Structure 1
């Protein structure tokens, strides 16, 4: 049962099928190009798409828009210290701004660097590559098996990381990243025990250890539920503080577990790294006490961080995603198991087995979900990650505090109908794409491989 009630609503409508067909053609079969007004249920991302609480809306009115020394920054800094246990904060306009600040700082002097991560997400991979470094994924065995039931399939593989050290040498690995939860591995959680081992590994090779913490509260909830060391009564914030405390720095998109529509930050206890990040932030984001955000946004995030670790909120959040997963499973739709914290991932290879990877089954499934029911998801397979070995997944990311059971019923019914017609679904091929392959899925244009629809 949801732990909140609606105080504001927005009308939505399902465009006619003929209109959806035209929209797909105009968007060149890339749903990023669809106008939001033409989408009925939007599960493209959970980043910045959620509903804020009444306390957050009230906080907006307190926003101090001072260029320097904003008291709204003081409230954000205090929230980060209390909730996450990290001392120094450099605010940015969103998560990729924080990645630019942190990875641009840490990799600026690194030559021929290699950066392991449990699994790089798209913008992380792109920022690492943009600094001239090579991003390398180190998922645990079974992370890409949609049918394997295991509690922490998002963990970082120390075996793969040590093999990487043997291959390239420790001196080429200045930075180690762990993403919690592991978005590219179907939103699977990471155990605190695994984070401790990664901390030790980083110390062994004298590398900086960074945690990408955009879904830190959801991860802490899974730890509370699944890791024997932590009792069910352990507070979510207590678990989060311990896990994040093993990192040298934290990079955060506040648009996820900050529960806001914009904003992010870098946080660290390392004063020297803090000063270096501040200087880069001034160049790319803004003065260190606003960093690309308005004062009102700083205020809303300060409240959101505290709300995100409330047991009632995060339990309801995870349960809502599980509900969508159960509805899809009951409808016969193949999904990645167990369901993660922010999204349900469809197994596109199993849903459309007649399509090979080079026909982009995930992207084909994304287009059919929109064609059939106005549902927008995102492909996270061979189209989004062309040079990585990933399963063919479609992510249905659930915006926080936004949709209700009847919306999920429609999503499940839509997906089931698509599967019934599965053999009639055409594969796709790329018609146009940008120069940077790590970001091609945002803007590339596609076309059907067979006859035009």
Structure 2
């Protein structure tokens, strides 16, 4: 049939509070024009992130009731470990309370002053944890991935030749590992091809470097491989995931994305010595190795979620739902990252409102307007999130000025998405009215979470 239906039935609902445009103006002012600082109860449609915002299944909730809360040796841990090993093939599995905790542990060991960690594109917490350790986060995205208007199957790919050149110029001794983020969140939720993973693996082998995968959305990436890459059409999602991880030496994971849970994450790797060091840090900071900062019930929910995310019917619905929103926006002429990614729509803010210079943060302006117009919360992924300052205090802008509308899994229906499209299109039609903003407060790291803004006069 032409109509793609949700492959689930709804068993519980949560009411939405509706606000007026006048109320939202006051809410925005009180929040310093930062969507992160708006109370969730004042949001009509919340697309700030897909992290930890998914709706869990009946089986996940049943698993929560059955969770084993033993401090050590919990059976829930062993079910969780078994599922992670089935998908990834990794020898050592270390639970953490979320993905950034896994990053903090890993980079506190391998990252230090003078070290460089290349990636296709680091996301915000990954970059922050690398830089907090004293190391440098380096992005080596392919050129198509930097151009929102270009349509290509795998715009998340790392530029393999640039990786080789970077290793030669920097020196192997200064690079503790290479990373690949699947899908590439900062680059528009774009997938990475299996061939690119294999090519990066070959470069790592050439220089004796380990390869780690930031695997937050691994199943969505595998679905794109199945649909777009030659030779994978008849493969199961599980087998594609297993092959993808077979080229890696380790991984970090925020289970709040493709494990369909509200909290949790893990580290996994094949290096016994590194795993021992990570577990030592885990015990000090997170907890015993068989719970790692999580309750047994959380481990049960993750294990079940990892099983459910491999369902091809679900992934078909998930990717098509995002594409559906993208199609409506493209038809209305709204500029966005094309093709649509796996978990979000990314508006091209630089093209959306070309009258706003990058130093006045066009992405933030668009995000503010979306909330003001229709109570839709989105996230700027541009020079607020990734901009730097040079030695003269001048802004060095991000590679792209994007606004991400991340769609929580199994939460919103088609009518919700139709409403979101209507809000975006109306803002776009009135884009000349948008004004730039300036920072009135910013933290030294991850400033987008707590920054405050004012409109430029």
TM-score (norm 1): 0.96
Aligned partners of 2:236 and 2:324: how far apart in 1? Answer: 24
- Asked whether 1:185 is paired with 2:187, we answer yes
- Asked whether 1:124 is paired with 2:126, we answer yes
8 Å Cα contact 1:93-1:263 kept in structure 2:
yes
C-alpha change, 1:289 and 1:188, in structure 2 (3 Å) is: same
What residue is the counterpart of 1:253 in the other structure?
Answer: 254
Aligned partners of 2:176 and 2:138: how far apart in 1? Answer: 13
What residue is the counterpart of 2:236 in the other structure?
Answer: 235
- Identify which range, 70-79 or 13-22, moves more after superposition: 13-22
Aligned partners of 1:151 and 1:60: how far apart in 2? Answer: 38
Report the alpha carbon displacement of residue 233 of structure 1 after superposing the two structures with TM.
2.4
8 Å Cα contact 2:124-2:385 kept in structure 1:
yes
8 Å Cα contact 2:113-2:133 kept in structure 1:
no
- Identify which range, 140-149 or 25-34, moves more after superposition: 140-149
Aligned partners of 1:99 and 1:276: how far apart in 2? Answer: 14
What residue is the counterpart of 1:45 in the other structure?
Answer: 49
Deviations, residues 334-376 of structure 1 (Å, cap 9, x unaligned): 1110000000101111111110100100000000000000000
What residue is the counterpart of 1:72 in the other structure?
Answer: 76
- Asked whether 1:100 is paired with 2:104, we answer yes
Aligned partners of 1:71 and 1:118: how far apart in 2? Answer: 37
Deviations, residues 61-102 of structure 1 (Å, cap 9, x unaligned): 111111111110000001111222223210000000111112
Aligned partners of 1:277 and 1:128: how far apart in 2? Answer: 15
Report the alpha carbon displacement of residue 310 of structure 1 after superposing the two structures with TM.
1.1
SS, match of residue 362 in structure 1: helix
Equivalences for residues 169-184 of structure 1 within 5 A: 169-184=171-186
What residue is the counterpart of 2:429 in the other structure?
Answer: 420
SS, match of residue 146 in structure 2: coil
Aligned partners of 2:189 and 2:107: how far apart in 1? Answer: 23
SS, match of residue 267 in structure 1: strand
SS, match of residue 49 in structure 2: coil
Aligned partners of 1:111 and 1:367: how far apart in 2? Answer: 37
Select which of 153, 156, 181 maps to 1:154: 156
Aligned partners of 1:83 and 1:204: how far apart in 2? Answer: 26
- Asked whether 1:313 is paired with 2:298, we answer no
Aligned partners of 1:306 and 1:102: how far apart in 2? Answer: 26
SS, match of residue 395 in structure 1: strand
8 Å Cα contact 1:83-1:306 kept in structure 2:
no
Aligned partners of 1:169 and 1:279: how far apart in 2? Answer: 29
SS, match of residue 183 in structure 1: coil
Aligned partners of 1:165 and 1:244: how far apart in 2? Answer: 23
8 Å Cα contact 2:118-2:137 kept in structure 1:
yes
What residue is the counterpart of 1:195 in the other structure?
Answer: 197
- Asked whether 1:61 is paired with 2:65, we answer yes
Aligned partners of 1:315 and 1:421: how far apart in 2? Answer: 34
What residue is the counterpart of 2:39 in the other structure?
Answer: 35
Deviations, residues 307-335 of structure 1 (Å, cap 9, x unaligned): 10111111111111111111222233211
What residue is the counterpart of 2:392 in the other structure?
Answer: none
SS, match of residue 356 in structure 2: coil
Report the alpha carbon displacement of residue 391 of structure 1 after superposing the two structures with TM.
1.1
SS, match of residue 385 in structure 2: coil
What residue is the counterpart of 1:376 in the other structure?
Answer: 377
Deviations, residues 4-58 of structure 1 (Å, cap 9, x unaligned): 1111111103201111000100000110000000000000000000100111111
SS, match of residue 441 in structure 1: helix
Aligned partners of 1:35 and 1:243: how far apart in 2? Answer: 39
Superposition misfits of 4+ residues, deviation over 4 angstroms: none
Q: What are the ranges of 5 or more consecutive residues in structure 1 without an aligned counterpart?
A: none
TM-score (norm 2): 0.96
Deviations, residues 110-140 of structure 1 (Å, cap 9, x unaligned): 5411111000110000111111111110000
SS, match of residue 384 in structure 2: coil
8 Å Cα contact 1:381-1:394 kept in structure 2:
yes
Deviations, residues 365-399 of structure 1 (Å, cap 9, x unaligned): 00000000000000001111113642110000000
What residue is the counterpart of 1:164 in the other structure?
Answer: 166
What residue is the counterpart of 2:332 in the other structure?
Answer: 331
Aligned partners of 2:430 and 2:228: how far apart in 1? Answer: 38
- Asked whether 1:448 is paired with 2:455, we answer yes
